[in-house]
Amino acid sequence: MGKPWAAFLAAVLCLALTGCTSSSDSSGGATSSGPVTPKPTPALPAGVTYQELTRSVGSGDPVRLNVLRVAPDARVRVAGAHGTTMTKANTVRSLAKAAGAIAAVNGTYYDIRTGRDTSGYEGDPIGLYAEGGRVLSEALAGRPALLLGHADNGRLIARVAEASTIGRLRAADGARLVLDGVNRVAGRILGCGGVGGDRLATTGKLQGKPSTGLCVDPDEVVSYSKEWGANTPPGPPGSTEALLAADGTVRSTRSPAGGPLPKGGSSLYGIGTGATWLRVHAVPGTRMAVSLRMTDPKGRDLSSPLETALGGSARLLRDGAVDPDVQQIGSDREPRTVAGITTDGTLLLVTVDGRDKGVSVGATPTEAARLVKALGAVDAVNLDGGGSTTFVLDGQLRNSPRATDEEPVIERPVADAIAVLPELRKE
């Protein structure tokens, strides 16, 4: 992520547009702090357009933007993309290449290795991430997310909504339990906002809502899927893990938890009272039902049509107005990655360069909100930013990601990306 979770909620960005003073340029690119290096814009499928723009913020400071517009009827598909495992990060360019994407931007915040509270698994998204209709990382309850799906004829349906995930376990003997998390280290909830029992690691205070920093919970069950990787993390003493076949049948259990995932299957990884529950109810040879659904703040299901979900830090626009949520993520100017939706359902993928004095200064959250509004968005969400902000088009880096002010351009490995794929829609 652009900064450790504790810092990024106080320093993630949005662009306040106080004036549009520079001309647009659909062929200019920026991969260094020097002059813009001209790059040709590749031919794009019908319904997809690309621009590189310079705008001004504040008292006239310049910002450089990369803007991709994907119309609802564009002859492409838009989906999330992550690496071969969720334990390792990858550059947006490598994710785009592996997916065969026309274009891609970075997606969710993640457990960056330089973070103060990192668990060591840098490819692990912080908050909601769903791909192919399956939740691969649980939501930080109530945080806004970009939701993407396609109608039967392939038409893109994009929206921004506050999202939560509700997980349930039901054993063959009828016993039930809440599922705490998906594909993360049990007992550690970066960004908080999990289910009951989470406490701030620094103070021990109960924390039921998303917050900066790390929450802990000694009593959890976390599920692991094949996307996580070959092995689950080594478990503490007393932990227990149930290994499940593809149909949910418990193949075996192991204590302590940690080790190879069953081929084609998954696992349920318990600590504290979660481990005790698995030892009693996850009986080898019986079936364990695992359910996980996405809901809005009123408990309404968000799953249809939904193929991809990427959680953000704050909503920037709601129904055409700057959302008060922007105040939660500070007022610093930083590089930003923003997803917006226009009135006709067009998806905007926007990156804002920063950390390059006199060339592109980045944007505050309010500035980012106003900028994407000027581009036509009525709803928008702030995704990971800072040094993670990356725009790739036709295999080329088109923006200038920097870890700190004035440093050289470096492509930072990230957990996942939003990929635009060359797939024809059905007639």
**Rounded Cα–Cα distance for residues 156 and 195 (Å):** 32
Q: Looking at the structure, do residues 327 and 194 belong to the same domain, yes or no?
A: no
Q: Looking at the structure, do residues 179 and 65 belong to the same domain, yes or no?
A: no
Give me the residues paired with residue 48 across strands: 70
In a domain, residue 320? The reply is yes
In a domain, residue 16? The reply is yes
In a domain, residue 426? The reply is no
Please say which residue of 294, 327, 361 terminates a domain.
294
Please say which residue of 272, 294, 316 terminates a domain.
294
Q: Looking at the structure, do residues 75 and 155 belong to the same domain, yes or no?
A: yes
Q: Looking at the structure, do residues 52 and 153 belong to the same domain, yes or no?
A: yes
Q: For the chain, what percent of residues have pLDDT higher than 70?
A: 90
Number of residues in the chain: 427
**Rounded Cα–Cα distance for residues 161 and 296 (Å):** 7
pLDDT tens digits along 95-149:
999 999 999 999 999 999 999 999 999 999 999 999 999 999 999 988 999 999 9
Q: Looking at the structure, do residues 182 and 331 belong to the same domain, yes or no?
A: no
Q: Structure pTM?
A: 0.89
Which tokens hold the place of 316? 């920037």
Q: Are 330 and 366 spatial neighbours (Cβ–Cβ below 8 Å)?
A: no
Q: Band of the pLDDT at 18, cuts 50, 70, 90?
A: very low
In a domain, residue 31? The reply is yes
Least confident of 19-23, 108-112, 252-256, 327-331: 19-23
Q: Is the pLDDT of residue 28 over 90?
A: no
Mean pLDDT of the chain: 90
Of the candidates 211, 212, 217, which has an alpha carbon nearest to the alpha carbon of residue 198? Answer: 217
Q: Looking at the structure, do residues 276 and 332 belong to the same domain, yes or no?
A: no
pLDDT of residue 424: 55
Least confident of 217-221, 304-308, 336-340, 411-415: 304-308
In a domain, residue 47? The reply is yes
pLDDT tens digits along 250-262:
999 999 999 999 9
Q: Band of the pLDDT at 208, cuts 50, 70, 90?
A: confident
Compute the average pLDDT of residues 270-293. Answer: 97
Q: Looking at the structure, do residues 69 and 83 belong to the same domain, yes or no?
A: yes
Q: Is the pLDDT of residue 23 over 60?
A: no
| Structure letter (DSSP) for residue 410 | -
Q: Is the pLDDT of residue 377 over 70?
A: yes
Q: Looking at the structure, do residues 183 and 151 belong to the same domain, yes or no?
A: no
Q: Band of the pLDDT at 305, cuts 50, 70, 90?
A: confident
pLDDT of residue 406: 83
Q: Are 238 and 255 spatial neighbours (Cβ–Cβ below 8 Å)?
A: yes
Q: Looking at the structure, do residues 273 and 175 belong to the same domain, yes or no?
A: yes
Q: Looking at the structure, do residues 153 and 169 belong to the same domain, yes or no?
A: no
Q: Looking at the structure, do residues 157 and 175 belong to the same domain, yes or no?
A: no
Q: Residue 288's domain is classified under what CATH number?
A: 2.60.120
Q: Is the pLDDT of residue 13 over 50?
A: no
Q: Looking at the structure, do residues 347 and 257 belong to the same domain, yes or no?
A: no
Give me the residues paired with residue 206 across strands: 199
Which tokens hold the place of 149? 């799906």
Q: Longest Cα pair distance anywhere in the chain, in angstroms?
A: 68
Q: Is the pLDDT of residue 165 over 60?
A: yes
Q: Band of the pLDDT at 37, cuts 50, 70, 90?
A: low
Which tokens hold the place of 297? 């703040």
Least confident of 109-118, 299-308, 313-322: 299-308
Please say which residue of 262, 278, 294 terminates a domain.
294
Domain count, the chain: 2
Of the candidates 131, 8, 15, 25, which has an alpha carbon nearest to the alpha carbon of residue 62? Answer: 15
In a domain, residue 133? The reply is no
Compute the average pLDDT of residues 301-329. Answer: 94
pLDDT tens digits along 337-352:
999 999 999 999 999 9
pLDDT tens digits along 212-249:
899 999 999 999 999 999 999 999 999 999 999 999 99
Of the candidates 145, 120, 163, which has an alpha carbon nearest to the alpha carbon of residue 312? Answer: 145
In a domain, residue 289? The reply is yes
Distances (CA, A) of 277 to 122, 169, 219, 258, 292: 29, 11, 10, 17, 19
Q: Which domain holds residue 257?
A: 165-294
Q: Are 414 and 107 spatial neighbours (Cβ–Cβ below 8 Å)?
A: yes
Burial category of 201 from C-beta neighbours within 10 Å (exposed 0-12, middle 13-18, buried 19 and up): middle
